[in-house]
Structure formats: structure tokens, C-alpha cells
Chain A
Amino acid sequence: GEDVEQSLFLSVREGDSSVINCTYTDSSSTYLYWYKQEPGAGLQLLTYIFSNMDMKQDQRLTVLLNKKDKHLSLRIADTQTGDSAIYFCAESIDNQGGKLIFGQGTELSVKP
């Protein structure tokens, strides 16, 4: 079945890089997404990657996709305290319209 796994917590120092990891099981994923949820708020789409890509960079964000190992990562360079949030990875499945399968979320804590 479809499953997306993430570690639950990550703590880094301000200015360091953060790497949030995600594994998924469904090989028919078409797109993989990273969403950010700040306290008391909804989910904000950060970036996404098409399943035939290996890497995508968008300013401080770098997404790496290893399709063979079904592993997705989000690297945040020069992490700031404002990056503290819960980060969700999600996959969309081919032929299932807009359905997203979410991971449990990784709570990123950035210490000054």
C-alpha cells in the first residue's frame, strides 16, 4: 500500500543546514511535495519535484530524489529561526487525481 515515512523531530542551530528526510513506498508516484506548517496555520507548499528529476533547487531549498531507494530529502541552507515549523512530505499517485499521501511531519526546531 501507499506509505510515506518521516522522522518526527530535528533540531539545528541557526545558520546551519537542515536536512529533512522522507521515504515512500509507491513507485507510481508522479510528484513529491514538501509542505511547511507553522504553528496554528494551514499547510504552505514549499516546493515539489517531478518523479523523473533527481534534484531541484529553489533559493535556500534543495530537494533531492533517489527514485531507486524511494528517498526524498529537503535541505534548507542557512537555517533561520523563522524556519521552525513542521515539514510534511507528500506524494501524489498517478491516476488518482489530486490525492496526496502525507508523511507524519518532521518538527524542525532552530536554536539561536
Chain B
Amino acid sequence: EAQVTQNPRYLITVTGKKLTVTCSQNMNHEYMSWYRQDPGLGLRQIYYSMNVEVTDKGDVPEGYKVSRKEKRNFPLILESPSPNQTSLYFCASSLFAGGSGSYEQYFGPGTRLTVT
């Protein structure tokens, strides 16, 4: 089954304790992205990757790191989490739909992070 998986789904942690949220897709997509969702703000892009070893900042990259060593995996790293990073995080991967040219993004189920 084609899917984007994220782990963990729920995480409660304390300020300053490094954490990693994993993301994996099995669709051989080149484009992957991380978003955070906050009430009243919709989804905002944190980082994205166009291909292996190619990553770039989105709109809200501060406090986050990513890596893309393999095509299928795109982990999100919080080196020193703070309470303002409490949010719902989504990983997405994209299929460039050939002649139609649309980027049909597939989303993971989300990771709810609470930083106390």
C-alpha cells in the first residue's frame, strides 16, 4: 500500500531534550516536506527536500533540522525543543503528475508533539 508513515504519532517531552520524528514513504517520490499545523494558522512548511542530499528551508525553519540521506526517509530533528514547538507535524511526499504537472502531495498521519 502506498503510504507515508511517521513515528512516533504522539510525543510528550521536556524543553531541551533532543528528539527526532521519522518520516518514510514507499512511493519513490523525490520531493518530501515537513509542515506544522497550528490552530488558526493552517499548515506552514518547515523544510523540504527536492531529492537526496538536497534540502532547503521553508517558511518556519527556526529550531529544526532535517536530513535526506536516502530517498525514502526524511527525518525531522529538534536539537533543543522549546514549548513554542508544541504542534501537530505532518510529513508529505509528492508525485509530479506527468502531463498534468500538478504536485499531488501525500500526507502522513501526523505527529502530535508536546514540549513542556
B50, A42: Cβ atoms under 8 Å? no
Inter-chain CA distance A31–B94, complex, in Å, is: 14
User: How big is the A interface, by class?
Assistant: 20 to 34
Provide the residues of chain B in CB contact with A6, threshold 8 Å.
42
B42, A105: Cβ atoms under 8 Å? yes
Inter-chain CA distance A4–B41, complex, in Å, is: 10
Spot the interface stretch: B14-22, B60-68, B78-86, B103-111.
B103-111
- B31 within 8 A of partner (CB): yes
B33, A98: Cβ atoms under 8 Å? yes
Inter-chain CA distance A52–B5, complex, in Å, is: 34
New A-B pairs, 8, CB < 8 Å, besides A31-B102, A48-B104: A4-B42, A42-B109, A42-B110, A48-B102, A98-B48, A98-B94, A102-B42, A102-B43
**Chain B interface residues (CB < 8 Å from chain A):** 4, 31, 33, 35, 40-45, 48, 50, 58, 90, 92, 94, 96, 100-110
**Chain A interface residues (CB < 8 Å from chain B):** 4, 6, 8, 30-31, 35, 40-45, 48, 50, 88, 90, 92, 97-100, 102-105
